[in-house]
Amino acid sequence: MNLELRHLKVVCAIAETGSVTKAASLLGLAQPALTAQLQRIERTLGGPLFERDRRGARPTALGELVLARARVLLPAMKGLQDEAARLAERGTGLTRYRLGAVTGPIVGGLVHRLSADQPQAQISTYASWYADELAQMVLAGRLDFAIVGACGDAAPPPVEGLAWRVLAVDAVFVLLPEDHEQAAKDEVELADLATSQWVAAPGDGCFGDCFAAACARAGFTPRKMYETDVRGGIDLVETGEAVALCQPTFRPVAGLVTRPLAGAPLRWRQLIGWHPESAAAGIADRVLAYATEAYLDSAQRNPAYADWLSRNPAFGAPHAVPG
- What pLDDT digit, counting tens, does each position of 58-73 carry? 999 999 999 999 999 9
Decide the pairing of beta strands 198-200 and 163-171: unpaired
Residues 161 and 183 both lie in one domain:
no
Edge to edge, the sheet with strand 267-274 lists 122-127, 96-101, 145-151, 267-274, 163-171
- Count CA atoms closer than 13 A to 60's CA, side-chain side: 11
Question: Would the CA dihedral through 31, 32, 36, 39 be positive or negative?
Answer: positive
Same structural domain, 42 and 123: no
Is 177 domain-assigned? yes
Res 54: pLDDT? 83
> CA-to-CA distance for 161 and 153, rounded, in angstroms?
20
Q: Are residues 154 and 119 in the same domain?
A: yes
User: Quick check: helix, strand or coil at residue 175?
Assistant: strand
* Domain span holding position 182: 173-265
List per-block mean pLDDT (blocks of 10 residues) for the chain, which spans 323 residues. 87 92 88 90 91 89 92 84 60 72 87 90 90 91 92 84 93 92 93 91 70 92 84 90 89 87 92 90 91 92 88 83 42
Same domain? For 159 and 286 the reply is yes
Give the CATH number, domain containing residue 198: 3.40.190.10
Residues 19 and 154 in one domain: no
Whether pTM > 0.75 for this model: the answer is no
Under 8 Å between Cβ of 158 and 140: no
d(CA 51, CA 53) in angstroms, rounded, equals: 7
CA distances from 94 to 89, 90, 123, 217, 265 (A): 7, 7, 11, 48, 41
| pLDDT given at position 290 | 94
In contact, 294 and 105? CB cutoff 8 Å = yes
For 10, the enclosing helix (H) or strand (E) is: helix 5-17
- Whether 160 and 275 map to the same domain: the answer is yes
